Amino acid sequence: ELKVEQNPLFLSMQEGKNYTIYCNYSTTSDRLYWYRQDPGKSLESLFVLLSNGAVKQEGRLMASLDTKARLSTLHITAAVHDLSATYFCAVEWVGGSQGNLIFGKGTKLSVKP
Amino acid sequence: NAGVTQTPKFQVLKTGQSMTLQCAQDMNHNSMYWYRQDPGMGLRLIYYSASEGTTDKGEVPNGYNVSRLNKREFSLRLESAAPSQTSVYFCASSEKRGRDFNSPLHFGNGTRLTVT
């Protein structure tokens, strides 16, 4: 069974600071997704990481994947208030008849001035 | 472009009542999913449909049934609602999944269900 753990679960940051969210998973997978959810809203796809060493960047967010360590990171550079949201990683479980996404519990990010 | 549309947005049920959550996508996606989101639990897969005509159980299928009515529509039914089913339900769709396919899920706006 695939387990996905994110940490921290809560993160309060000051504007302008850097921080990293970690996503660990328990079994082999080479596909990992990051999503953002604003309060009361749906989930929006941020990044799709498909191979070991993959790195994607969009604005102040950068995601990477290390399949050997079963670890993905979401790095936030010079945080701004607009980045306040809950961030989920999801790992594709290819052990079954088709790939399904198993989600972490989410990291609630609050960026304060 | 509507994407994934869920109805209703909000629903209150009494224990033992039944209801169906509707989901439709207009992106010509093959795969559709139902997730529930509970505080501190992330999203958990209830059922999915890899393609029209097929459905399979996810992590938490008990108490639910699904129907893949056609390629566009995937409904979730609660036959006898229980307070433990109070949650936010999300429908999602994606292109065909498998070894050579890896598109992200596209989510609807959710249905907030309360069972009293």
Most A-contacting residue of B107, B109, B111 (CB-CB within 10 A), to test interface:
B107
Most A-contacting residue of B97, B101, B111, B112 (CB-CB within 10 A), to test interface:
B97
Pairs of residues, one from chain A and one from chain B, whose beta carbons lie less than 8 Å apart? 59
User: Average pLDDT for residues B83-108, to the nearest whole number?
Assistant: 85
* B104 C-beta neighbours (distance < 10 Å), count: 20
Q: Which residues of B touch A58 (CB under 8 A)?
A: none
A97, pLDDT greater than 80: no
Euclidean distance between CA atoms B67 and B22, whole angstroms: 10
Query: Which of B44, B104, B108 is nearest residue A45 as measured by Cβ atoms?
Result: B104
Q: Chain A window 37-96: which residues touch B at a Cβ cutoff of 8 Å?
A: 41-45, 48, 50, 88, 90, 92, 94
Contact A20, A75 (CB under 8 A): yes
User: Average pLDDT for residues B86-108, to the nearest whole number?
Assistant: 83
Nearest alpha carbon to residue A102 among A111, A85, A87, A89? A89
Structure tokens belonging to residue A84: 């306040």
With vertex at residue A75, the alpha carbon angle to CA A73 and CA A78, rounded to the nearest 5 degrees, is 170
Cβ separation of B43 and A43 shorter than 8 Å? yes
Please write the tens of the pLDDT for every residue from B3-52: 999 999 999 999 999 999 999 999 999 989 999 999 888 899 999 998 88
Euclidean distance between CA atoms B64 and B47, whole angstroms: 8
* Mean pLDDT, chain A, integer: 91
Query: Which of A43, A50, A105 is nearest residue B102 as measured by Cβ atoms?
Result: A50
Strand pairing report for B4-7 and B19-25: antiparallel
Amino acid occupying residue B25? Q
pLDDT band at B103 (very low <50, low <70, confident <90, very high): confident
User: Average pLDDT for residues B70-97, to the nearest whole number?
Assistant: 94
Cβ separation of B42 and A48 shorter than 8 Å? no
Residue B14, sorted as left (phi over 0), alpha (psi -120 to 50) or beta, turns out to be beta
Among the ranges given (A12-16, B56-60, B71-75), the one the predictor scored with the smallest mean pLDDT: B56-60
pLDDT band at A28 (very low <50, low <70, confident <90, very high): confident
Contact B110, B90 (CB under 8 A): yes
Q: What integer pLDDT is reported at residue A30 of this predicted model? A: 73
> What percent of chain A has a predicted confidence (pLDDT) above 90?
75
Most B-contacting residue of A33, A47, A93, A103 (CB-CB within 10 A), to test interface:
A103
